[in-house]
Amino acid sequence: MTRTHAFVSLLCLSLVAPTLAVLPPPARAAASEAPIQFVSFDAYDYGFTGPDHIHPGLTTIQIVNTGRELHHIQLVKLDAGKTARQFTSAMKAEPGRFPTWAHFMGGPNAAAPGDRTAAVQDLQPGHYLLLCVIPDNKGAPHFALGMIKPLTVSSKAASRGTMVKPDVVITLSDFHFALSQPLTSGTHTIQVVNQGSQVHEAVVVQLPPNGSIKAFAAAFEPGAPLPDPPPGKPIGGVTGIEGGNQGWATIMFSPGRYGLICFFPDPATGAPHFTKGMMVDFDVK
């Protein structure tokens, strides 16, 4: 996992300009329903700025990458009584092993330098952490370098009846992606549902003409040289969610080749899920 994310960080530096990309409109509820809460966080090397307290309920979470490396937001919900300090201590004691009282709750996936991405999550009251688990080019995860921010979701009653209207559903399992229907060019709200027994993510990758997600994944094998030109560019998705949970991402697709890939490691072997076949490519027309 260290090499994979370090490679993606270098990859995005070579692909994007320093100007902010235009993000598609956030997911919306039907006109008769309550609006979806919107919050935005700036990500820099290495930290987050943004609100400390928000209301519960469906929330569009945006990440604006103002740094020089690839960043994302991994939401982690802490069990009652646990703190950010305890989380940091636990990770120092057992690097690479998340404590059982920290639960993966999704968030906006990879935003390249100068870009922004967003995801919608249903946030329940409690204490959360915003993490970037992508390592730097020396292998240190960004949260270990200070890229961690506490977030409190208040106990105020959440609005009822609000729903996100997805165009396409991506189902995650051990270890596959399944699309409910083909994606077409334009802006689409995608529902990501984890029906597997492990934590999974959906990273959406824009591939070069005639590219494949297999070639993209091959660049992450230990000892593989960094290819020139890069074999693809991450453009968002939903970060890690536990089985039975879901999230939504709104992404603008132009015609071309794309792929889906999951980098989360298998707890038993440490091998990233894409090595078990959790990747797929597709065409957008």
pLDDT average, residue stretch 122-142:
90
234 and 99 in a common domain: no
High-pLDDT (> 90) share of the chain, %: 67
Judge whether 112 lies within some domain.
yes
78 and 209 in a common domain: no
Range of the domain at 192: 168-284
148 and 36 in a common domain: yes
Instruction: Decide which of 210 and 76 is more confident.
Output: 76
- DSSP assignment of 226-274, as one string? PPSS-S-EEEEEEEEE-TT-EEEEEEEE-SEEEEEE--PBPTTT--BGG
pLDDT grade for 4, boundaries at 50, 70 and 90? very low
Judge whether 163 lies within some domain.
no
Query: Which CATH number goes with the domain that contains 130?
Result: 2.60.40.420
**Least confidently predicted of 23-32, 124-133, 158-167:** 23-32
Last residue in a domain, options 105, 125, 153:
153
Contact (Cβ atoms closer than 8 angstroms) between residue 115 and residue 22: no
Last residue in a domain, options 125, 153, 181:
153
Q: What is the pLDDT of residue 112?
A: 87
Judge whether 253 lies within some domain.
yes
199 and 73 in a common domain: no
178 and 139 in a common domain: no
Judge whether 161 lies within some domain.
no
Judge whether 199 lies within some domain.
yes
128 and 47 in a common domain: yes
pLDDT average, residue stretch 139-152:
92
Q: What is the pLDDT of residue 223?
A: 61
**Least confidently predicted of 80-89, 149-158, 180-189:** 149-158
| This prediction's pTM | 0.86
Judge whether 162 lies within some domain.
no
pLDDT in tens, 164-182: 889 999 999 999 999 999 9
230 and 188 in a common domain: yes
CA distance 35 to 27: 10
Q: What is the pLDDT of residue 217?
A: 86
Q: What is the pLDDT of residue 158?
A: 60
192 and 146 in a common domain: no
Domains contained in the chain, number: 2
Contact (Cβ atoms closer than 8 angstroms) between residue 178 and residue 171: yes
Q: β-strands 233-241, 256-261: how paired? A: unpaired
138 and 239 in a common domain: no
Tokens 């009653």 belong to which residue?
A: 157
CA distance 175 to 162: 31
135 and 16 in a common domain: yes
99 and 208 in a common domain: no
Given a cut of 70, whether residue 28 has pLDDT beyond it is no
Q: What is the pLDDT of residue 35?
A: 77
